[in-house]
Structure 1
Amino acid sequence: MPACARSQARYSRSQKGISYVHTGDLVISADFGTSGVKIGVVDDTLTLLKRATATYPLDLAPGGHAEQTPDDWWAAFARGLADLRKDIPDLHDRAGAIVISSQMCGLVCVDEAGHALRPCLTWLDKRAATIGQDLIGGFPSVLGYQVGKLARWLRIANGAPAKNGMDPTAKMAWIAKHEPEIFARTRWFLDVKDWILHRATGRFTTSAESANMTWLLDSRSGRQGWSSTLTKMTNLPIEKLPEIVDADEVLGTLTPQAAAELGLNSALPVLGGTSDVTAAALGSGEVEDGALHISAATSVWISGFMPGRILNVPSSYATISSGLGYRPLLIASQENAGSAMEWAVRVSGGTTSGESLAGAFDDMGAPVPDDPYFLPWLAGERVPVDNDALRGVFHGLGLHHDARALRRAAVEGVAMNIRWSYSRVIREKAVRTDGPISMVGGVAGNAAFAQTVADTLNRPVRVGETRHAGVLGTATLAAPTMGWADTAFEAAARLRAHSSALYTPDPTRVEQLEARYQKLDKIRKDILRSYRH
């Protein structure tokens, strides 16, 4: 094996004196989502050699209850690693680092020893909606926010908690009101990855993205860190918030217990980790300032690293602090993409599992001029109009329209909804519009959809890693430690070479879709007006 492939993992100067002696040529990268974990083994070319998945339950109940048991995440991690060791028997010795990413906006309450005091309130949990409104409200108000509070939040954190109560800040306040004994016993409030990393290393830490999404972080340049002004304003104790570390910082090595449970070497270094949005951004390969990518899965977001903070209140998007040096990361999220397309297949009599779902879009037939229009707001919308009450619309249905017409409308409608957001984002001076735009995520692998996005945006679409961008993006965080690159960004830029397809706009379809977009824009405005009455 070449010497470079067996390079010794190493700490950078930011590692605060932590040291270890261990060599290895592979990185274990894990992406913890809402329903399961994806684990990959990656080499120095950022090639995904082997992968495994393991699921865990999500406890849903009436009233907005959406919880998970943290031990289930760990058990799934162990199962997935056991599967990988079957494919790579010497993984124990060859692993040089371990790094994870996860869903954001969860809340795990732990005691001094790190034991979870109750199940995690996941990002989906909506029980804090009323408390969330109390947290942000008051007189005088604008859009439901007390003016003084809103001004402080926007100035310090570059955003504010959502009115739906799904942010960690509202969840903390909900625990304080409804479970005061748990609140009193809580030593640390952790996000999903934070709990997993504590289980692995014994340290209590978080990343800048997770901190930012509590809206208790001062994200201003030169002042980054927990804000005493915002914690006092929300009556939340700053001492319960963990240390913020960089995503590529080595926290330490696996504890002996964690190593035994995972079947790995106790000398294995563990990095600080990141969120799913930063992982996807790195996995897209688009890491230059102003370069955008689209991450299209169940939902969809347009994102990109920016040279400074951006805040667009009317269109409901902003930058958050990424886990790498607080570098601003723009996120413009929309609720419905793959979920809306899958729904269209299901209600039109199709099968929504695996290859059957993909085949439903391969056999849509050619578009026709009187195809129906579709607004995919099945679960509300966020950008550029933030309204949970919005619902989906088919417009122009006729007796002659069949299942294939509905599916064509769904694909086109999601693509045009992306354009609606994209048209706002590209107005920002820092955003680049030259060259192809990268698209990752499971829906990006749908050729019909990718081509429709290219035609709708009138911009080439480069499809990168479709289902494993998060795993690969997470792996880039270990590149400096492994000696593969000087920075995670340098490593991530190499992923552009991993693109699987390039879709160029078809001039005829561009013209057709432009006319349909203008018609849909009028329909959309009429529908939005109806929600104001």
Structure 2
Amino acid sequence: MYYLGLDIGSSSIKVALVEITTGKSVGVVQEPEKEMSMFAQKNGWAEQKPDDWWMHSCNAIARLKKQYNISRTQIKGIGISYQMHGLVIVDKEGKPLRKSIIWCDSRAVQIGKDAFTSIGEEKCASSLLNSPANFTASKLKWVKDNEPDIYSNIYKFMLPGDYIAFKFSNTINSTISGLSEGIFWDFKNDTIADFLLEHYGIDKALVPDVVDTFGLQSVVDEKGETDSGIAAGTPIYYRAGDQPNNALSLNVFNPGEVAATGGTSGVVYAVTDNLSGKESTRVNNFAHVNYKQSLPRIGKLLNINGAGIQYRWLLNNLAVDSYDDMNQLASQVPVGSDGVCMLPFGNGAERMLNNMEIGTRLVNLNLNNHQKGHVCRAALEGIAFSFVYGMDILKSDGINIKVMRAGNDNLFRSEIFANTVATLIDQEIEIYNTTGAIGAARAAGLHEGDFDSYGKLVEDNDHVMTFMPFKDKAPYLKAYENWKAELNLKLNNK
């Protein structure tokens, strides 16, 4: 028997099957094979059709069942992970009234900034743990202000994962974790953020019903069975945004546990029991998947836009054939890159730098002494230093790092990158080979509450290796201090 997991991304949909008893991944498929399109009517806009997510989900499920000879009745539960911060609005028949305004759409930035000023920083930090910023609530306010005819016909708003669950079950609901990522949750009173709805003039009736993150959320109905090929009556047991779900996939649930990803952008997601919004303008704070009022678990999310995209840019523009070649060149250069220093912030404004857009900077290059290996090492070190810099911000907001776990993705495959981070934070970094879809599938089994067994499933099936911090920390500290000095020069415009 199997659990099914879906990961609803903005570039593709991934669907996974895992065995219930062992947690072992049977297979993962992706739809479409090429990236899904985005609609951008204006600069800074990004929209997708919710029914495209559903179509690709159904196609992926059909492929998965056929490829592994799985019948619909062998799937005993569903878990859903999804791109965070998107807005889906539907009428009384459940039909989308417009395309979804997705996570990377920036049209509501000013709306969120104005709300932060009007409501007040202290109120936002203590109740929302965030600025309203460019999140789902602000996007809904944009629709209200700019598309009043559409707004007047809204029955409910949903997050992307809520919509997929609805298409399976014809039941509309959401979770505290999901509503918190849209900045609809008041942590101080542990209820819907009525004061923000009132500020935006949004009718509370538009908010979906709230269900537990783990548990019987809804069941597949006859229409859902016809579309998806999953038997009617199959329960949906779990739903979470992609970053909380990534942490879950890495067995990160408790205070001091940190999940990291090192893809195009970098993410550090640290769990705490502290309801602090001290760094609410630089760090996002969401209810983690296991949040309860009696046992608060907050995920502090720090994003680094300029991460793997910089290393990919070098791959495309240096005379090298692969990342392995670059890593080999970099390994021939000592710690600190003989003084060459690179700031990796060339992918737009950086929230952790108070939304400054400082670009990538390569400094201290000596044309007589330095080669492309120095540039490769400086790039890896610069990205690693940006992770450490971000974790220093998290520490200032009350995070005490006890363990870091990361996916086996591009940056963490580099020993230079992983060893630099591990040594500077003085923590082991455990590497796991897993995906969001596999994590969502396994999470369907957590409706029974056996979190200890879940951790063993992850350890037994996914653990690849562990990077240990080096005892000789001095050269790494010196290189990091040099990097910070260059960053401060730029931040202070000197």
TM-score w.r.t. length of structure 1: 0.84
Aligned-partner SS, 1:389 = coil
Q: Deviations over 1:40-60 (max 9, x none)?
A: 111122221111111322223
**Equivalent of 2:459 in 477, 485, 496:** 496
Q: Counterpart amino acid of 1:52?
A: V
Q: Does 1:334 align with 2:304?
A: yes
| Residue of structure 1 in register with 2:481 after alignment | 518
Q: Report how far residue 272 of structure 1 moved.
A: 4.1
Aligned-partner SS, 1:437 = strand
| Residue of structure 2 in register with 1:3 after alignment | none
Q: Report how far residue 74 of structure 1 moved.
A: 0.9
Aligned-partner SS, 1:249 = strand
| Residue of structure 1 in register with 2:62 after alignment | 82
Asked if 2 retains the 8 angstrom alpha-carbon contact of 1:246 and 1:324, the reply is: no
| Residue of structure 1 in register with 2:196 after alignment | 230
**Equivalent of 1:459 in 416, 427, 434:** 427
| Residue of structure 2 in register with 1:403 after alignment | 372
Cα 1:386–1:244 change in 2 (3 A) is farther
| Residue of structure 1 in register with 2:171 after alignment | 203
| Residue of structure 1 in register with 2:13 after alignment | 37
Q: Report how far residue 441 of structure 1 moved.
A: 5.5
Equivalent residues, number = 481
Cα 1:402–1:244 change in 2 (3 A) is farther
Aligned-partner SS, 2:346 = coil
Q: Counterpart amino acid of 1:50?
A: G
Cα 1:74–1:246 change in 2 (3 A) is same
Aligned-partner SS, 1:289 = coil
TM-score w.r.t. length of structure 2: 0.90
Q: Report how far residue 494 of structure 1 moved.
A: 4.0
How does 1:455-494 map onto structure 2 within 5 Å? 455-465=423-433, 468-481=434-447, 486-488=449-451, 490-492=453-455, 494=457
Asked if 2 retains the 8 angstrom alpha-carbon contact of 1:299 and 1:335, the reply is: yes
Q: Counterpart amino acid of 2:485?
A: K
Q: Counterpart amino acid of 1:443?
A: N
Q: Counterpart amino acid of 1:503?
A: F
Q: Report how far residue 218 of structure 1 moved.
A: 1.0
| Residue of structure 2 in register with 1:257 after alignment | 223
Q: Counterpart amino acid of 1:348?
A: L
Aligned-partner SS, 2:469 = coil
Q: Report how far residue 363 of structure 1 moved.
A: 4.6
Cα 1:348–1:63 change in 2 (3 A) is same
**Equivalent of 2:154 in 177, 182, 186:** 186
Q: Counterpart amino acid of 1:339?
A: I
How does 1:51-450 map onto structure 2 within 5 Å? 51-55=28-32, 56-136=36-116, 145-146=117-118, 148-162=119-133, 166-220=134-188, 223-313=189-279, 316-326=282-292, 327-350=297-320, 356-368=322-334, 369-370=337-338, 372-380=340-348, 382=350, 384-400=352-368, 401-427=370-396, 429=398, 431-433=400-402, 436-440=403-407, 442-448=409-415, 449-450=417-418
Asked if 1 retains the 8 angstrom alpha-carbon contact of 2:18 and 2:441, the reply is: yes
Measure the CA separation in 1 of the matches of 2:201 and 2:302.
Answer: 29
Q: Report how far residue 516 of structure 1 moved.
A: 0.9
Asked if 2 retains the 8 angstrom alpha-carbon contact of 1:314 and 1:384, the reply is: no
Q: Counterpart amino acid of 1:335?
A: N
Aligned-partner SS, 1:342 = helix
Measure the CA separation in 2 of the matches of 1:488 and 1:469.
Answer: 18
| Residue of structure 2 in register with 1:529 after alignment | 492
Q: Deviations over 1:70-90 (max 9, x none)?
A: 111111111211221222212
Q: Counterpart amino acid of 2:72?
A: H
More displaced 10-residue stretch of structure 1: 276-285 or 206-215: 206-215
Asked if 2 retains the 8 angstrom alpha-carbon contact of 1:290 and 1:306, the reply is: yes
More displaced 10-residue stretch of structure 1: 336-345 or 399-408: 399-408
Q: Report how far residue 437 of structure 1 moved.
A: 2.2
Measure the CA separation in 1 of the matches of 2:304 and 2:47.
Answer: 23
Asked if 1 retains the 8 angstrom alpha-carbon contact of 2:125 and 2:278, the reply is: no
Asked if 2 retains the 8 angstrom alpha-carbon contact of 1:304 and 1:329, the reply is: yes
Asked if 2 retains the 8 angstrom alpha-carbon contact of 1:315 and 1:424, the reply is: no
The CA RMSD over aligned residues, in Å, is 2.4
Measure the CA separation in 1 of the matches of 2:397 and 2:102.
Answer: 32
Aligned-partner SS, 1:115 = coil
More displaced 10-residue stretch of structure 1: 318-327 or 208-217: 318-327
Asked if 1 retains the 8 angstrom alpha-carbon contact of 2:113 and 2:132, the reply is: no
Measure the CA separation in 1 of the matches of 2:90 and 2:452.
Answer: 33
| Residue of structure 1 in register with 2:25 after alignment | 48
Asked if 2 retains the 8 angstrom alpha-carbon contact of 1:279 and 1:469, the reply is: no
Cα 1:432–1:131 change in 2 (3 A) is closer
Cα 1:358–1:247 change in 2 (3 A) is farther
Q: Report how far residue 383 of structure 1 moved.
A: 5.5
Q: Report how far residue 407 of structure 1 moved.
A: 2.1
Cα 1:76–1:404 change in 2 (3 A) is farther
Segments of structure 1 that go 5 or more residues without pairing to the other structure are 1-24, 137-144
Cα 1:489–1:473 change in 2 (3 A) is farther
Cα 1:293–1:323 change in 2 (3 A) is closer
Cα 1:268–1:180 change in 2 (3 A) is same
Q: Report how far residue 367 of structure 1 moved.
A: 1.6
Segments of structure 2 that go 5 or more residues without pairing to the other structure are none
Q: Counterpart amino acid of 2:493?
A: S
Aligned-partner SS, 1:29 = strand
Aligned-partner SS, 2:406 = strand
